[in-house]
Amino acid sequence: MSVGKSSVDQARAQGGVATLREFGRQVQAVRKQRWGDPTGYLLIGPAVILYVVFNVYPVFRGLEMAFMDMQYLKPASANFFTSFNGLGNYEVMFQDPEFLHALKISVEFSLLYLPPAIILALLVAVLIGAMGQNSVAIVSRVVMYIPVVIPISVTMLMFKSLYDPRLGYLNYALTRLPFISRGPDWLSDTKWALVALAIATIWTRFGYFGLLFLIGVYQINGELYEAAAMDGASNFRKFWHITIPALRPIFVLILVLTGGILSATQEPLILTNGGPGDATTTLGLYIWNTAFQIGNLRVGYAASMSLLLGVVQILFAFIVFRFLGLKSDV
Amino acid sequence: MMASVSTRANAMPRRTILLGFDVSQWLAMLALAVVIVLCVFPFWWTISSSFKTAQEILVGTPKLFPRSLNMVNYDYILSFPGINYIGMFVNSIYVTSFTVILYCILCVTSGYGFARVDFRGRDAIFLGLVLLLFVPQAGGLIALYEMMDKLGLRNNLNGLVLYFASQITVGAFIMRQAFLNLPRELEDAARIDGAHTFQVLWHIAIPMVTSAVLVITILEFVNVWGEFLVTYTMIDNQQRMTAAVGYAMVAASVVTPQLSIAHLANLSIYGTSDASAVILLLPAVLIYIGLQKWFVQGMLEGILKF
């Protein structure tokens, strides 16, 4: 499309209407340069609008709520200006013994759950990768993801029945071992409840990490292993110097994704409802109870705790990126 | 035992081969077999327990297999007055299928828009979408509750469908990646022949990314079928409860004493909760196993390249 004097002169020579038409054409050309193909907006429009309504707006509203003393059962407190209380929620939070206890439980839970889950997933993925197209490997691949597929409420119900001290299979299997005479009271003993929760969560989620690791393992160039073998490398050295560095971006991805485990809510809710007592009340569960179950439903307070958790997650992701980087070594 | 001796000049160490696998491979297979058993066992236990009568469950030594395929537990829960098992199951099917359909449409169209159509702000919007995954969810669920209440979508299955389908980030990311990997020549050829964007999308692009579409379908189906927290928070009305939440709530309650003693004698709370667990997990597991070939193929085709 020629945007120059000649076309304008030609149009002017033809008279009024033609000038307008030419002007219109030139405007369209410029608009197309600046805006591109408008069907793009049509294609992404519905999805983005729905996303903004249900996922972006709540973030801002939640941020607002974190600095208000909003209580859901008192509708008057829903207005930002009437119940704004600055950092008041945070002052209360750090004095709140239940909050501090829930924080401790969340940290303990993460430490009980994350390392075993990641290590187990890594080992399984490496073993499957090493087996190639072996039928055991193929079955493992499918089976390892099944616990992820099962609805969380089913998983927790299953474990409830397995953990029963007298009727559950776990204690029965343990007592078959020569050195154990009585299995622990998994869900009623404050010492074991968190471990029980961690085991159930590891069972449910390790397949997901395993699949991510497996994708990474499959992308490693096999020739690297052959070259290492010819140089006399043992299996362990191959694992340590080839596999692990190649999987670094996946470690990063997993660690960033699992920052959210601090706010785990549904697992403790279904398995133990925070019990016995408050031995398994994670921070996520405490926040949820504060907002939806207890007393005046202090959603402002709950939102401020959520915000704190969210900031911790971001910091954690930032630290992970800083120290582990984004790109693979291999 | 057969031993194979290397005759190559750069002599590799002698390996003992038994039935085609060496020692380290046998160990690996053993380890994997243990993992398989551990994964499958709780699942097997639940299915097997669901067919047991109370006498079989309330014994000192639990047995791996039920005495027979006794449908007592299933009859009980399906005919229990006051708790609408079938209704909840239907609700789950409704929410899950509509969500998956809407989700796929939204992810495919937006994925294609981000991948192949050039418009102002495209990359910025996409980046924003991805970054928002990392933004702190300060009381996101709480604010969502308030908003959906005001919109009248809260205690409502359609509200659930809209909410679940709106989380397009992962799906759009995968679809965009899949579309980006397609060779441009086919689309260019179609455009030269006069096709406009939607025709290209429908007739050419989509048929070539079916494995990616299957991947996001499976992921979304499985996520929504078992979704607990949001559903439990949003829905109060038992008529509208989905199975994932409803069955757990029922299992947590005590067996009602309204039944005759004889009937009670054959049931235990574990048997009935296991039966409801089996009904609940079957669709998700069957869909996964049925479609897992495409799922794995989709993953390996490098949709999720790093």
B117 CB within 8 Å of a chain A CB: yes
User: pLDDT digits over B28-51, tens only?
Assistant: 888 888 889 888 888 888 888 888
Cβ–Cβ gap A307/B138 under 8 Å: yes
Residues A61 and A101 grouped into a single domain: no
Does any domain span residue A81?
Answer: no
What residue segments make up the domains of chain B, in order of their start? Answer: 81-253
Q: Which residues of B, range 224-283, sit inside 8 Å of A by Cβ?
A: 225-229, 232-233, 244-245, 247-248, 251, 270, 273-274, 277, 280-281
- Cβ distance A51 to B167 less than 8 Å, yes or no, reads yes
* pLDDT (0 to 100) of residue B6: 46
Say what the pLDDT of residue A8 is: 66
Q: Are residues A304 and A169 in the same domain?
A: yes
In angstroms, what separates the C-alpha of A20 from chain B's closest C-alpha? 27
Strands B15-18 and B2-4: antiparallel
Rounded to two decimals, the pTM is: 0.82
Number of C-beta neighbours around residue B152 at 10 A: 10
Measured from the Cβ of residue A106, the count of other Cβ atoms closer than 10 Å reads: 22
**Contact yes or no for A136 and B29 at CB 8 A:** yes
Same-domain pairing of A192 and A287: yes
CB pairs under 8 A between A and B: 297
pLDDT in tens, chain B (306 residues): 444 444 544 555 555 666 666 777 788 888 888 889 888 888 888 888 888 777 676 666 677 777 777 787 787 777 776 677 888 889 999 999 999 999 999 999 999 999 888 888 888 889 888 888 777 666 788 888 888 888 888 888 999 999 999 999 889 988 998 888 888 888 888 888 887 888 888 888 888 888 889 889 988 998 899 888 888 888 888 788 888 888 777 766 543 333 344 344 455 667 777 888 888 888 888 888 888 877 776 666 655 544
> In sequence order, what are the residues at sequence separation of 6 or more whose Cβ sits closer than 8 angstroms to the Cβ of residue B14?
B3, B4, B5, B6
Closest chain B residue to the Cα of A328, Cα to Cα: B306
Residue of A66, A100, A98 whose CA lies nearest to A85:
A66
CB contact under 8 A, A37 and B107: no
> ipTM of the assembly?
0.80
**Measured CA distances, A48 to A41, A106, B107, B180, B182 (Å):** 9, 34, 10, 19, 23
Residue A55 has its nearest CB partner, among B112, B132, B226, at B132
> Are A25 and A148 in the same domain?
no
Task: Looking at the structure, tell me whether residues A62 and A97 fall in a common domain.
Answer: no
Q: Which stretches does DSSP call E strand in B77-137? A: none
Are residues A63 and A310 in contact, defined by beta-carbon separation less than 8 angstroms?
no
Percent share of chain A, pLDDT over 90: 9
The per-residue pLDDT for B96 is: 94
The verdict on a CB contact (< 8 Å) between A306 and B139 is yes
Q: Which of B293, B277, B305 minimizes the C-alpha distance to B77?
A: B277
Sequence-separated (6 or more) residues with CB below 8 Å from residue A289: A274, A281
Give the residue from B6, B8, B29, B35 with the most A CB atoms within 10 Å of its CB, the best one to mutate: B35
B106 with A269: Cβ contact below 8 A = no
- CATH (domain of A113): 1.10.3720.10
> A148 with A225, same domain?
yes
For the ranges A42-51, A131-140, A230-239, B275-284, the maximum mean pLDDT occurs at A42-51
pLDDT at B262: 37
Min Cα separation A172/chain B (Å) = 7
Summarised one tens digit per residue, pLDDT across range A271-321 is 888 778 778 888 888 888 888 887 777 888 888 888 888 888 888 888 888
Q: Domain B81-253: give its CATH code.
A: 1.10.3720.10
Residue B264's pLDDT is what?
A: 47
Q: A286: domain range?
A: 88-324
From the CA of B294, how many Å to the nearest CA of chain A? Answer: 12
Cis geometry, peptide bond prior to residue A276 (ω within 30 degrees of 0)? yes
Whether residue A106 is found in the same domain as residue A164: yes
To test the contact with chain A by mutation, choose from B166, B215, B250 the residue with the greatest count of A C-beta atoms within 10 A, namely B166
pLDDT in tens, A239-273: 888 888 888 888 888 887 777 777 788 888 888 88
Instruction: Tell me if B303 sits within 8 A of B178, measured CB to CB.
Output: yes
Q: Measure the CA–CA gap between A296 and B23, rounded to whole angstroms.
A: 64
The domain total for chain A is 2
